[in-house]
Copies of this chain bind each other. A is one copy, B any other.
Amino acid sequence: MTRPPNLLFIMADQLRADYLGCNGHPTIKTPHIDALARRGVNFTRAYCQAPVCGPSRMSFYTGRYAASHGASYNGVPLRVDERTLGDYLRPLGYRVGLVGKTHMKRDEDGMSRLGIDPDSSRGVLISQCGFEPFERDDGLHPDQLANPDLPYNRYLREQGYTGDNPWQSAANSAEGDNGELLSGWYMRHNHLPARVREEHSETAYTTRRAMDFIEETGDQPWCLHLSYIKPHWPYMAPAPYHEMYGLEDMLPAVRSNAERECPHPVVEAFMSHGESREFSRDEVRERVIPTYMGLITQLDDHLGRLIDFLETRGLRDDTVIVITSDHGDYLGDHWLGEKELFHEPSARIPMIVVDPRREADATRGSRNDQLVEAIDLVPTFVDYAGGDSQALNHVLEGRSLHGLVTRGPADTWRGYAFSEADYAWRPARKELGLAPDEARAFMVTDGRWKYIHYANHTPQLFDLATDPDELEDVAHCDVNRAVRGELEAALNEWFKARRLRTTISNDLVEQRTGTAHKRGILFGVW
């Protein structure tokens, strides 16, 4: 095969790894994703680098840990000179486009300091973390912040929806008995159908825009980041997905009384957040979770259409597909809502890689339980595109999955996966009396043990082998002293190994070692 494959990089926002049929959910219907898992490799132990949108995505797009790229939370600009996927793929001949969400915040100070016009073509790329914004939509548009010129708002108006912000009034609202708007931001409305027709919904629109990009691009190799806004809140699904699932389809909440009675101080502070208190109530879970599941099935249906489209266009055998998410959703597990901390429902992500070429036949339909990280995708894509990810190991911190997908599990692989939190922006930080730069936490897992280091607080430790639900924190058991020390040491080594000398490659260092004398710089010569 002389032509490198297209790269279809699909992300669903806030999609839990275990809410897929192929990952064991007993009732959810995700036949198209399951079919992709049968065609590819399902990585069952994949972790995001930060269980919150912005930093997780910046890790996906840079191939670097949050501690390295620095955009540690939503709204923290990515440094203007951080390299992203587009910087690597465009020189290899790819069109690198975005349809959907990135949660990128551009570094306006940096651009101004360096004289970069945000509206220039380069400025636009930098502003969109290296993607050509074929369609950018981060999907959170309350009326206070809404832009009537948002393409999706324009589209909805063209379909006859009224108002400045039909994203809110149609796609993310229901209608009451008297025709009044019932906002989807309020979870008490999440069992109602969105006012938007399904074919006009965000997921449907986003899928069509992906098809537009593929069609427009034609023969040039492309990488499309197709980044769905759902099943992230507001949890509003259009009919019929709002009523596809019922209480009998729900998994019970994973939680114990002991967790609430004797919590870790940081977890306790998160438990006191509004979203955690609400999701601890059954009434809330029962309104939200069936809809959350419906949104996933809706997404799956549209992925089915997209795959048919690829097939029709003759692209199926030319296109490597990745399906993942930026983080999960507690949905009341562990008495928590949302994400940010490191339990599996929050930090673990789905990761399915489909390589249609004959080279990958050996792994087709397999599951791989080696530790995978979100940062692995950039080197994977670089290798698929015909580049050499190893030559970028002074910047990229992930490991290419190319070999795992073509040859199967690797004999030597990483021993640990890491994830990070910076909760400076959350009320928990103030409740704990911490300064903005003290509210950090780090997860390290070797696959069996999960260790969480909290700045200014004692650590947590879970044994995933005996306690896969992470109900018992065993950090303080004497018998675990050795494993705790080992994981803390791994974390400390990890910190020392961050790639911060990014402006010169290791290959170049190797070439230059001991060469000063050759350049006439004699020192210590008699």
Contact = CB atoms under 8 A, between A and B. Distances in A.
A513 interface: yes
A519 interface: yes
A509 B436 CA distance: 7
A504 B77 contact: yes
Given A67-B500, A70-B500, A79-B81, A278 B524 contact: yes
A513 to B, nearest CB: 5
The dominant DSSP class at the A interface is loop
A6 to B, nearest CB: 25
A428 to B, nearest CB: 9
A506 B437 contact: yes
A455 to B, nearest CB: 7
Contacts of A279: 524
A76 B109 contact: no
Contacts of A185: 520, 522-523, 525
Contacts of A422: 501
A425 interface: yes
Interface string A83-118: 100010000000000000000000101100111100
Interface string A269-286: 000011111110100100
A419 to B, nearest CB: 15
A421 to B, nearest CB: 13
Chain A residues touching B, range = 35 or more
A525 B187 contact: yes
Interface string A482-501: 00000000001001111111
A16 to B, nearest CB: 16
A149 interface: no
Contacts of A495: 492, 495-496
Interface in A62-87: 67-68, 70-73, 75-81, 83, 87
Given A114-B122, A510-B436, A522 B186 contact: yes
A114 B126 contact: yes
A503 interface: yes
A242 to B, nearest CB: 18
Contact of A526 (B187, B426, B499): B187
Task: Say how many copies of this protein the assembly contains.
Answer: 2
A512 interface: yes
Contacts of A516: 425
Nearest to A427: B514
Contact of A492 (B116, B120, B145, B492): B492
A513 B144 contact: no
Contact of A520 (B145, B429, B506): B145
Given A113-B87, A523-B338, A496 B440 contact: yes
A503 B115 contact: no
Contact of A524 (B72, B140, B337, B502): B337
A144 B519 CA distance: 7
A511 to B, nearest CB: 10
Contacts of A513: 424-427, 429-430, 436
B114 A80 contact: yes
A273 B524 contact: yes
Contacts of A496: 440, 442, 455, 495
B142 A520 contact: yes
Scoring A72, A76, A523 by chain B CB atoms within 10 A of each residue's CB, the highest score goes to: A523
Contacts of A233: 523
Contacts of A142: 519-522
A269 B440 CA distance: 39
A52 to B, nearest CB: 12
A435 interface: yes
Given A145-B520, A425-B512, A513-B426, A525 B81 contact: no
Contacts of A425: 509, 512-514, 516
Given A75-B504, A278-B525, A424-B513, 8 more contacts: A67-B500, A76-B501, A77-B504, A83-B113, A187-B525, A187-B526, A436-B513, A437-B497
Interface of A: 67-68, 70-73, 75-81, 83, 87, 107, 109-110, 113-116, 120, 122, 126, 140, 142-145, 185-188, 233, 273-279, 281, 284, 337-338, 393-394, 422, 424-427, 429-430, 435-437, 440, 442, 455, 492, 495-504, 506, 509-510, 512-514, 516, 519-526
A-B interface, 3 closest residue pairs, ranked by CB to CB distance from nearest = A275-B524, A142-B520, A144-B520
21 contacts: A68-B500, A72-B500, A73-B501, A78-B503, A79-B503, A80-B114, A81-B81, A144-B519, A273-B524, A274-B524, A275-B523, A275-B524, A393-B437, A425-B516, A426-B514, A429-B513, A430-B513, A436-B513, A437-B497, A437-B501, A455-B496
